[in-house]
Structure 1
Amino acid sequence: MTQEVYEIAEKLVIASKRAYNRGIQTGSGGNVSARIPGTETMLVKASGGSLGDCTPEGFLITDFEGNLIEGDGKPTREALLHGYIYKLRPDVNAVVHVHSPYAIGWSSSKKDLPLVTWHAQLKNPAAYPTLDVHAAMVRTEDVPMVEEMFKKTSDISAFLLADHGVVAMGKDALAAEHTAELVEETAQVAILDKLVEKLGL
């Protein structure tokens, strides 16, 4: 691992631990990755590890199809999705995927998440899309759905996977993690808005 790659891995560690400490991911779920500049490779979290326990040395290097190039362990099963995002979005250098509860709660409606706060409106051009993928991971046959989403809104910073979680993107791992937190906050407010409306307050 070169010094440049190690520094990228250090940012992934900071983002991972923040997501864990903020409670938007528990246990061994969720995954993170970062593009290795000038290559078609990425750093990815190993399957089964906790975001709270990540170390720079623990990340794996794979190609954009998720094939292991360097490191010990099995790449996350979401490596295919991360790789496709890097292919489709040259501006994205990191992806943070978490199973945050309010976002999952909203995604069960299969509706896009509206930008119910000024903060969300300032950070994203349109509602966060929700993709109804009928599996615990994005598979090859689901990729056209991702491509179509980016065609409709090419510069979105995150999207939801129905009954699954948030996929947040950014210029680096810290930016992507901050976006994941914003999506969770937005989902929480959206759900509270619905409750207030139902109660007639």
Structure 2
Amino acid sequence: MYTSEGKMLFQTEREEMSKLVRIITERGLTNAAGGNFSFLTEDEEGKRYIIMTPSLMSESFLGALPAAQILVVDFDSQTIVDGVGTLTREINMHQAIYHANPAVKAVLHSHAPNTLFWATANLPIPNLTEGTQKVKAIPILDFAPATSVELAETARKHIEQNQALPQLFMLNSHGLLIAQTGVSGLHAIHSALAILETNEMNAEIAYKQTVLQGLGVMDGYYSKGEKIATLEELKNGTAIYNHSQIIGGD
């Protein structure tokens, strides 16, 4: 579908999503199962649409998606308005999150390897770095099968109960999910990518601090120059993050 100016419908937004998919793939922030990414936009009349990656974006297309393969989905009917590809079955999870908090403008679901380690171990990631402190606790939700109604419902309940944004949480044995707001959907998905990358680094750092504690080299988890928790707290499922006030930067 083309506009009267000869451009694809939401061409700029789809080009940016195509770029984001490539970046996430090239930086190893997801695996062949891919995950799925979406953000909201609207036309001149205020009608809402979801800009979304198609099914099998990594498995079949290796993360190399031209803008034409990025889908434009009607927000209300969940039908494809434009784009070459099939709608992922996890549209139900994205839609559930958008309805659970109208301030959400982007949803990013990835299978980042270091984060997936914690999600599979069923342990909340200790949040230690300054770059990830705004998301505070990084919880892990109860397991529900991929693409299932149960998974969408689990994510919806979490967002309803945690309205502050951004939200970053793990899906047990599945990956992570970021819900973000912004001045636009495009701004929100770019912000979500930054959270994804900084969290993946934090997940690796948290793993290494955990190992060093097990070896007796460290006596706890350290963040911003202070000891904030111990290995026993991790074992007990305590949400570990630095509670000190954010005083600089954005």
Shorter-chain TM-score: what band? 0.7 to 0.9
Matched, 1:175 2:186: no
Distance 1:54 1:169 in 2: 23
- Of Structure 1 and Structure 2, the greater helix share is in 1
Partner of residue 30 from structure 1, selected from 11, 35, 39: 35
Alignment TM-score, normalising by the size of structure 1: 0.86
Q: In the alignment, is residue 152 of structure 1 matched against residue 161 of structure 2?
A: yes
Letter in 1 for 2:175: G
Secondary structure at the aligned position of 2:72 is classed as strand
Q: Deviations over 1:28-74 (max 9, x none)?
A: 52221111234343111111223631222111122446433333321
Q: Call closer, same or farther: CA 1:66–1:186 in 2, change over 3 Å.
A: farther
CA distance in 2, matches of 1:114, 1:153: 19
1-side partners of 2:88 and 2:70: how far apart?
10
**Aligned counterpart for 2:140 among listed residues 130, 136, 144:** 130
Match of residue 52 from structure 1: 63
- Residue 121 of structure 2: SS of its match in structure 1? coil
Would the aligned equivalents of 1:169 and 1:179 in 2 still touch at CA under 8 Å?
Answer: no
1:87-109 Cα distance to aligned partner (Å, 9 max, x none): 22322222222111110100123
Larger Rg: 2
Q: Which residue of 1 aligns with 2:20?
A: 15
Aligned to 1:88: 100
Unpaired runs of 5+ residues, structure 1, are none
% identical aligned pairs: 27
Bigger relative CO (Cα 8 Å, ≥ 6 apart):
1
RMSD: 2.2
Partner of 2:120: 108
| Cα shift at 1:180 | 1.1
1:41 alignment partner in structure 2: 49
Q: Matched residues in 2 for 1:10 and 1:99: separation?
A: 22
TM superposition score normalised by structure 2? 0.71
Q: Distance in 2 between matches of 1:92 and 1:187?
A: 24
- Aligned residues of 2:68 and 2:84 also touching (Cα < 8 A): no
Aligned residue number for residue 188 of structure 1? 204
Residue 110 of structure 1: how far off its partner (Å): 2.2
